[in-house]
Amino acid sequence: MSEYLRKNPEAMLSLFFYEHIQNEKADETFPRLTKFLEIPENSHEFSRIMIEWVFEKNKIKNDRLKMQNIIQNNKNAIHYCILYEFLQKKPIGQSYKTFCNTVGKGVVDFKEFKNLFNRFARGKFAVVGETCAPEIEIQISGSDHSLPTLPEEILVKIVEKSGLKERLTLRKVSRCFRSIVDESKLICEKIDIRFTDLSTEICIESLPMINYQQKKEGCVIDFGGNRSVMNGERHIECALRDLNTILKNPKFELRVLKTTFLLGIPFLFNGFIPTEWTPIYRFMELEDFFQRFK
């Protein structure tokens, strides 16, 4: 059932507006909805939907009242929002209350709301006479992903209005986006880096913590539950390489950089301490790294 909504741009936009009106924190809308609809964060579908959402949200200047008016004046949007309530499997009375508080009282009476719930329960989800709206497609050509339906100036605006997490996702969409993201101005309040004997942690504002764990096979990277393994690599090298992606942008402005060393008693290998575990070596390595961004 979620696929029916995911493949329908009009439905997705309606649900983003619906969620955004309810949530005080704007940055919670996108992850909440994509998680509910089971859209993998590292998928092309996730990137496509995020682009559409950022573009439409900024087009109406993030105005919740305008979002509400758009839903109120679109029968299809109302249908999708009620279907969204149905899929959450809440009591119908609670769902109706949420709908009225979000879209507005009197937009749909309870009898009509209940009729739609009953219709959905019978497996009839589509809007009567529904037509598919055109969608932005990510076309794959070799290893590059292009967005032919959007001019570059629109892509620039999308990036400028995106937060750090969205920008990191957009970098993976295409070479064009990667170039725009890397050249766009970005202000970051704080980056916190913590080093231990066998791991490095990077915390960047509201992003999930990035953990680099040293294992026998190499470095295991965990970012918000997504794990990857860098065979034969050291955790500190992987962490600094990823950090370099952000810091190398000449328009990147960082207010606070905090580094913490939480060093225990290192293990001995053949009677000596591995060089990369000594505080002196780490300080020298970091000094050399941050010299590049003066």
Strands (E), 67-209: 139-141, 144-146, 186-196, 199-204
| Rounded CA separation 251/33 (Å) | 32
Say which amino acid occupies 68. Q
Task: Report the predicted TM-score, pTM, of the whole model to 2 decimal places.
Answer: 0.48
Residue 264 has pLDDT above 60, yes or no: no
pLDDT tens across 161-190, in order? 777 767 777 776 666 667 777 777 778 888
* Measured CA angle at 208 (ends 170, 245), to 5 deg: 45
pLDDT band at 254 (very low <50, low <70, confident <90, very high): confident
Domain ranges of the chain: 2-121, 139-183, 186-293
Residue 238 has pLDDT above 80, yes or no: yes
- Sequence-separated (6 or more) residues with CB below 8 Å from residue 83: 5, 116, 120, 125
* Measured CA angle at 134 (ends 127, 123), to 5 deg: 25
pLDDT band at 103 (very low <50, low <70, confident <90, very high): very high
* Tokens read off for 83: 């279907």
pLDDT tens across 55-92, in order? 676 777 778 888 999 999 999 999 999 999 999 988 99
pLDDT tens across 198-231, in order? 899 998 877 788 899 999 889 999 887 778 888 8
φ, ψ for residue 11 (rounded to 5)? -65, -45
Average pLDDT over residues 237-266: 77
